Copies of this chain bind each other. A is one copy, B any other.
């Protein structure tokens, strides 16, 4: 049970200024003892199976057979943790800690253990010799914990297995947490990554009034796996210029080299931390004063710290003649033969004794008061801060009734709407009703994806860099976060969700691949947390992908990629959901569902161009609830009898083409029993055993038939449909059409033609795969080929799609307004014949 005594974080008066004063000897001793204890516990985790407190001489048998984990970054992380604890105590700072450097696990676990949190959450790992032993054993051990600040670690929202997102996560946590300090340690290795390099600019997107504070601490230990780091090998003035150029006020703390007494480094660190925290308090105070006076204020140059210490600080300096401390050789396990080489066993023993464990742990094996007194109380402990177990703080969104935003659908396809713009109206109301815990993130595409204007009628884009007259929809505080970095948007949103809030990521479909690997890490985090009882549910990560592959005719081949779905479905079925709503009402229904869900990644792909509204809102709800269904109104089957063929679609453009194909068949082959199926929830296609949303085989057969031809027009790469359905009875008869990598740059209908997803080709597919169509089929097939050619030729001649295609509507084509659908194809075909007979000069 987590100890939560101490002040309620919400009642704290943060950001106090304190008179600078040197550390007292007691404080110095306490900080150093903490640091030694955390270092000891980290080394123990890497090496020891037994004899945890070194109360007997160290032998081979005490040492793990596989030495895993990483030492290099650990002493720096521990050093900072100890110093932050002093400051938290002195100032009652509501603080979380982001361990950016790779493989910081052993250190972070040690700190959570010293704070008591670890034992409170995992009572088996008590504050006793036995507890220490178990703590050591579980680390990188079968059935144990990994070497990162993984979800099993209390206080962590940032695993850091993949590097580069420490600052993005930190800022995401700080948004709308005005009393929160996020101490974000950036490794100098990860500082070389692209995402980290741009994430410094997050300080142009943080509001001193409504948001918290991120304190970046660039830890220059100088080395990566096998190389020096770039930022450690540029002159100090250049590094300072860089940090000033990023908009910070940098402070340097350097020490520990050449055997320097750590006490001297402690003193410098403490003094710098005091200076920095005072500066933060002053920035906060002056911003608040200006805000109260209704005055503007300049973007603060927030402080940041550069901490320069030796990599692997305090490990054996030289091993087997090689310098280890202060080099890349300290990155992983410095004494890799500690078990099998007696000299190394002895070195390890000396190393561990150098921390003087006998001073650090009492008779029972618990950390002594000198150490534990440095831990803040209750939720002020960074490892116990509820912000880092965001589900504890998550409040359900106050959602308006999405039905209020529905478009009117007097008949299928009778009206057109831009689905994302309609959703924008709903999201605007969500923003209005949830002014403190919901944001939209996107790389400069919120307007392009047409959530605007509705969204900007209730909020603005948060922008803390310079503003100029004429700027539109920018404000110091706002609910839309836009920076042209998909990484930044993803990292911010992850940090925001992990700390208990809600959000939407709005992006072009093709370029969401930029964050493929970040999605991986988040999905893995969700997968693991689902098995950790004390981790509470967080809001789902909701993607809204528009400007999708089928409307990238004008932007060209580089903007065409529907593969994010394929990427997503590789992750655990417990975690991922994929939706392809095809019109405004299905998008509304889908998104309402997503905003209510927890612990998922919801990928929603929707159109932003005017598209036919097919279902009333109640029909849309019913359809989306089922996830897929038969469009009775579009097919020609006889109730109670099996159809001759199934025309299925997933995605807005495929659905339109399937409907147009169905209309042509209705006109030209009226006795063919056509079933039209639409899939909104793609995971319904998978087997029930593979995905919680998967249909049973019986349900699948009832919709798709076990034995009739299925022509499936799909939004993405067609083989995904095969992958999802290969276990189904009907799979042998399934023919999937989808996007091909063929380099088109054309018009919308030309785009579908180039990918053989057009209405005419779908009719040809039906003809070619449905037995018993009879003699008419040859003529109809020829008509379809003529119509395709005509449609293609029209684009070459006119630079746009033929009116017969553009103006096609279901209402007209399906017979209520005569045989327009057929006429369109025939008109097009006639134009081909005419062209052919006149020699075909189409210029």
How far does the Cβ of A586 sit from chain B's closest Cβ, in whole Å?
A: 26
**CB-defined interface of A703-726 with B at 8 Å, one 1/0 digit per residue?**
000000000000001011011001
A559 at interface (Cβ–Cβ under 8 A)? yes
CB atoms of B66 and A554 under 8 A apart: yes
How far does the Cβ of A518 sit from chain B's closest Cβ, in whole Å?
A: 9
| Docked complex Cα distance between A162 and B552 (Å) | 13
Nearest B residue (CB) for A719: B723
**CB-defined interface of A553-568 with B at 8 Å, one 1/0 digit per residue?**
0111111010100110
A39 at interface (Cβ–Cβ under 8 A)? no
Name A733-773 residues within 8 Å CB distance of B: 741-743, 745-747, 750
A786 at interface (Cβ–Cβ under 8 A)? no
Name A509-539 residues within 8 Å CB distance of B: 510-511, 513-514, 516-517, 520-521, 523-524, 527-528, 531
A159 at interface (Cβ–Cβ under 8 A)? yes
| Residues of chain B contacted by A247 (CB below 8 angstroms) | 234, 238
CB atoms of B516 and A567 under 8 A apart: yes
A517 partner, pick from B246, B514, B572, beta carbons under 8 A:
B514
| Residues of chain B contacted by A572 (CB below 8 angstroms) | 741-742
| Docked complex Cα distance between A511 and B566 (Å) | 17
CB atoms of B555 and A146 under 8 A apart: yes
Nearest B residue (CB) for A195: B194
Query: Which of the 9-residue segments A305-313, A431-439, A463-471, A656-664 touches chain B?
Result: A463-471
With A224-B484, A470-B327 in contact, is A750–B142 under 8 Å at CB?
yes
A527 partner, pick from B164, B470, B531, B741, beta carbons under 8 A:
B741
How far does the Cβ of A257 sit from chain B's closest Cβ, in whole Å?
A: 12
Query: Which of the 9-residue segments A120-128, A614-622, A796-804, A813-821 touches chain B?
Result: A796-804
Query: Which of the 9-residue segments A81-89, A351-359, A442-450, A644-652 touches chain B?
Result: A442-450
With A245-B239, A554-B140, A567-B516 in contact, is A446–B226 under 8 Å at CB?
yes
CB atoms of A558 and B726 under 8 A apart: no
| Docked complex Cα distance between A512 and B42 (Å) | 30
A147 at interface (Cβ–Cβ under 8 A)? yes
A555 partner, pick from B142, B161, B474, beta carbons under 8 A:
B161
CB atoms of A147 and B567 under 8 A apart: no
Nearest B residue (CB) for A519: B513
A726 partner, pick from B234, B726, B746, beta carbons under 8 A:
B726
A65 at interface (Cβ–Cβ under 8 A)? yes
Nearest B residue (CB) for A65: B800
| Residues of chain B contacted by A520 (CB below 8 angstroms) | 510, 513, 561, 563
A415 at interface (Cβ–Cβ under 8 A)? no
Nearest B residue (CB) for A467: B233
CB atoms of B741 and A189 under 8 A apart: no
CB atoms of B743 and A234 under 8 A apart: no
A611 at interface (Cβ–Cβ under 8 A)? no
How far does the Cβ of A829 sit from chain B's closest Cβ, in whole Å?
A: 19
CB atoms of A741 and B524 under 8 A apart: yes
**CB-defined interface of A472-505 with B at 8 Å, one 1/0 digit per residue?**
0010000000111111100000000000000000
A49 at interface (Cβ–Cβ under 8 A)? yes
A372 at interface (Cβ–Cβ under 8 A)? no
How far does the Cβ of A41 sit from chain B's closest Cβ, in whole Å?
A: 18
| Docked complex Cα distance between A485 and B229 (Å) | 12
A461 at interface (Cβ–Cβ under 8 A)? yes
Nearest B residue (CB) for A222: B468
| Residues of chain B contacted by A486 (CB below 8 angstroms) | 193
| Residues of chain B contacted by A471 (CB below 8 angstroms) | 228
With A199-B194, A800-B65 in contact, is A145–B745 under 8 Å at CB?
yes
How far does the Cβ of A99 sit from chain B's closest Cβ, in whole Å?
A: 13
CB atoms of B461 and A227 under 8 A apart: yes
How far does the Cβ of A609 sit from chain B's closest Cβ, in whole Å?
A: 13
How far does the Cβ of A21 sit from chain B's closest Cβ, in whole Å?
A: 33
A563 partner, pick from B143, B193, B567, beta carbons under 8 A:
B567
A777 at interface (Cβ–Cβ under 8 A)? no
A746 partner, pick from B143, B162, B199, B230, beta carbons under 8 A:
B143
| Residues of chain B contacted by A225 (CB below 8 angstroms) | 444-445, 447-448
| Docked complex Cα distance between A68 and B466 (Å) | 31
A197 at interface (Cβ–Cβ under 8 A)? yes
| Residues of chain B contacted by A487 (CB below 8 angstroms) | 193-194
Name A115-145 residues within 8 Å CB distance of B: 137, 140-145
| Docked complex Cα distance between A244 and B194 (Å) | 18
CB atoms of A465 and B198 under 8 A apart: no
Nearest B residue (CB) for A727: B722
| Residues of chain B contacted by A468 (CB below 8 angstroms) | 228, 233
| Residues of chain B contacted by A145 (CB below 8 angstroms) | 745
| Residues of chain B contacted by A148 (CB below 8 angstroms) | 556, 558
| Residues of chain B contacted by A445 (CB below 8 angstroms) | 225
How far does the Cβ of A340 sit from chain B's closest Cβ, in whole Å?
A: 13
With A65-B800, A66-B800, A190-B484 in contact, is A444–B227 under 8 Å at CB?
yes
| Docked complex Cα distance between A747 and B561 (Å) | 37
CB atoms of B799 and A142 under 8 A apart: yes
| Residues of chain B contacted by A226 (CB below 8 angstroms) | 444, 446-448, 452, 482
A521 partner, pick from B558, B566, B745, beta carbons under 8 A:
B558
A163 at interface (Cβ–Cβ under 8 A)? yes
| Residues of chain B contacted by A143 (CB below 8 angstroms) | 746, 795-796
A484 partner, pick from B49, B189, B323, B747, beta carbons under 8 A:
B189
| Docked complex Cα distance between A447 and B159 (Å) | 24
| Residues of chain B contacted by A743 (CB below 8 angstroms) | 524, 527-528, 531
How far does the Cβ of A485 sit from chain B's closest Cβ, in whole Å?
A: 5
| Docked complex Cα distance between A64 and B798 (Å) | 8
A243 at interface (Cβ–Cβ under 8 A)? yes
Name A585-637 residues within 8 Å CB distance of B: none
A192 at interface (Cβ–Cβ under 8 A)? yes
How far does the Cβ of A244 sit from chain B's closest Cβ, in whole Å?
A: 4
Q: List 23 A-B contacts (CB under 8 A).
A: A65-B798, A142-B747, A142-B750, A142-B795, A142-B799, A144-B745, A148-B558, A162-B511, A162-B514, A192-B488, A194-B195, A194-B487, A198-B198, A201-B230, A228-B465, A233-B466, A233-B468, A234-B247, A514-B516, A570-B717, A719-B726, A722-B722, A723-B723
19 additional A-B pairs beyond A142-B750, A142-B796, A241-B245, beta carbons within 8 Å, are A66-B799, A143-B795, A144-B745, A146-B558, A147-B555, A161-B556, A161-B559, A194-B199, A227-B461, A227-B463, A233-B465, A235-B466, A238-B244, A241-B242, A510-B520, A513-B516, A527-B743, A571-B741, A722-B723
